């Protein structure tokens, strides 16, 4: 099939975006999405493949002989690749995701990264979550979206992080976001009774205390919101019944809870989920294959459940990882910290297909895949064409939108 290339502007210049003709044919055949971008029934599910997912063994360049030369012990055998075309295919563990791709609801954006990449897990994770490669930012890009679009009526579940600790991507100035590892584990750590909480609240307003703090009232507000949300969430989602069999994995349980929150119509606009660790310096094939299979199977159950409840076209799933891995395998049958890698957009509002350029394994950046699409272009696309908010203020600049959403 003839490949069409076109240019988009990124944060640092121009990049070629490759697509195929059948992508647009499928998009034209799709029925309109419910509501306009930003409609209250739309939700973003953000999945962090933390640890640095190896893009080359995830979306495999099986048509490039260099891939097999540089990874003699680590490359995915051509006979095992789930082919997309003569050049690219999915890891063999991702059969469920490949079936969704074949239905036209998965977009693969290749070569995603940012200028002057950082190889530290901590700093690069911070960059992806704050969308600020060139500065230190204390709020996350979704946190700034929450603050920019907060309604007059407060909502305790406008954003939900299915994790033990609130991720930086959801930290905001004015919006409290609960971190919920599981329904049965969601409560204040102190677990005080009502009388103790009232006494603490009265004490915080007592002018006879030997100290004063302008932050005490805010601390009390945050605690009050946390307490109320921990009491209300189990009650609000109790009526939801899943219509898919989720795998008994951490990501399976996390996405089952995400579907429960979405299906209960709580007005949640964004949900954070994490999966990993993909830090595969040693014995990568075994570890990454297991993790990719868990991700693929959980996504399949998630969208089966959403579809059975009529919610699959109002949920967009976006994956990210702090970086890819180096092109050449190391001496421990693993890979070390790299740079650009692919990400996925999944859902009924997606124009499925391949986007971005194939990784060039000859023209590298010190042995790493060069980025061709700035990750902030992906965020700008999601903000403006899914969540319906201007992206410039949130991202600190203007970035071109990708043609990946209906």
**Any domain includes 35:** yes
Average pLDDT over residues 166-174: 96
Give CA–CA dist 72/66, Å, rounded: 10
Higher pLDDT, 155 or 196: 155
**Half-sphere exposure for 360 (CA within 13 Å, toward CB):** 11
Q: Which residues contact 147 (CB under 8 A, 6 or more apart)?
A: 139, 172, 173, 174, 175
Using CA atoms, how far residue 205 sits from 15, 68, 169, 209, in Å, is 57, 68, 32, 9
**Any domain includes 404:** no
Structural domains counted in the chain: 1
pLDDT digits (tens, 9 = 90+) for 262-272: 999 999 999 99
**Any domain includes 405:** no
**Half-sphere exposure for 294 (CA within 13 Å, toward CB):** 21
Closest CA to 378 of 325, 342, 352: 342
**Any domain includes 56:** yes
The mean-pLDDT minimum among 78-82, 126-130, 184-188, 259-263 falls in 184-188
Element (H, E) at 204: helix 194-204
Contact (CB, 8 A) for 27 and 402: no
**Any domain includes 130:** yes
pLDDT value of residue 25: 33
Q: What residues make up the domain containing 156?
A: 3-206+213-395
Q: Indicate whether 204 pLDDT > 90.
A: no
Average pLDDT over residues 351-369: 96
Give CA–CA dist 178/158, Å, rounded: 9
Give CA–CA dist 246/304, Å, rounded: 10
**Any domain includes 47:** yes
Closest CA to 106 of 285, 237, 296, 234: 296
The mean-pLDDT minimum among 22-31, 321-330, 356-365 falls in 22-31
Average pLDDT over residues 249-264: 97
CATH number at residue 148: 3.40.720
Confidence band for 214, pLDDT divided at 50, 70 and 90: low
Q: Indicate whether 398 pLDDT > 60.
A: yes
Q: Residue for token digits 């790299």? A: 338
pLDDT digits (tens, 9 = 90+) for 122-143: 999 999 999 999 999 999 999 9
Higher pLDDT, 360 or 211: 360
**Any domain includes 22:** yes
Query: Which phi and psi (to 5°) does residue 377 adopt?
Result: -65, -40
Average pLDDT over residues 17-36: 44
pLDDT value of residue 185: 57
CA angle at 394 for the pair 389 and 397, rounded to the nearest 5°: 110
Confidence band for 341, pLDDT divided at 50, 70 and 90: very high
Higher pLDDT, 118 or 7: 118
Give CA–CA dist 59/288, Å, rounded: 12
Contact (CB, 8 A) for 367 and 102: no
**Any domain includes 34:** yes
Percent of the chain exceeding pLDDT 70 equals 79
pLDDT value of residue 38: 77
Q: Indicate whether 156 pLDDT > 90.
A: no
pLDDT value of residue 217: 54
């Amino acid at each position: 099939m003839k490949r069409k290339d076109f240019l988009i502007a990124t944060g640092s210049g121009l990049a070629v975006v490759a697509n195929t003709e059948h992508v647009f044919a499928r998009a034209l055949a799709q029925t309109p999405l419910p509501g306009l971008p930003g409609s209250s029934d739309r939700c973003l599910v953000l999945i962090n493949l933390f640890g640095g997912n190896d893009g080359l063994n995830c979306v495999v360049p099986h048509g490039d002989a260099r891939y097999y030369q540089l990874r003699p012990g680590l490359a995915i055998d051509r006979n095992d690749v789930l082919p997309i075309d003569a050049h690219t295919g999915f890891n063999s563990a991702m059969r469920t995701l490949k079936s969704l791709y074949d239905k036209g609801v998965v977009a693969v954006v290749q070569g995603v990264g940012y200028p002057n990449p950082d190889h530290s897990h901590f700093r690069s994770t911070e960059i992806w979550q704050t969308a600020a490669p060139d500065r230190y930012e204390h709020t996350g890009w979704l946190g700034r979206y929450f603050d920019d679009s907060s309604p007059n009526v407060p909502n305790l579940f406008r954003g939900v992080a299915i994790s033990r600790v609130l991720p930086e991507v959801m930290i905001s100035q004015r919006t409290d976001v609960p971190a919920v590892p599981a329904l049965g584990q969601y409560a204040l750590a102190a677990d005080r009774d009502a009388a103790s909480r009232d006494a603490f609240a009265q004490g915080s307003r007592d002018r006879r205390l030997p100290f004063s703090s302008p932050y005490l009232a805010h601390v009390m507000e945050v605690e009050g919101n946390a307490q109320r949300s921990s009491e209300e969430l189990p009650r609000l989602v109790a009526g939801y019944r899943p219509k898919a069999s989720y795998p008994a994995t951490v990501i399976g349980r996390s996405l089952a809870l995400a579907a429960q929150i979405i299906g209960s119509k709580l007005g949640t606009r964004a949900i954070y989920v994490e999966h990993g660790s993909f830090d595969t310096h040693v014995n990568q094939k075994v570890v990454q294959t297991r993790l990719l299979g868990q991700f693929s199977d959980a996504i399949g159950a998630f969208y089966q459940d959403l579809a059975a409840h009529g919610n699959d076209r109002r949920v967009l799933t976006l994956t990210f990882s702090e970086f890819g891995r180096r092109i050449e395998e190391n001496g421990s049958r693993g890979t070390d910290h790299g740079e650009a890698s692919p990400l996925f957009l999944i859902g009924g509002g997606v124009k499925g297909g391949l986007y971005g350029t194939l990784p060039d394994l000859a023209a590298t950046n010190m042995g790493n895949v060069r980025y061709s699409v700035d990750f902030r272009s992906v965020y700008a696309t999601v903000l403006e064409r899914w969540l319906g908010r201007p992206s410039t203020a949130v991202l600190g600049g203007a970035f071109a939108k990708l043609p990946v959403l209906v």
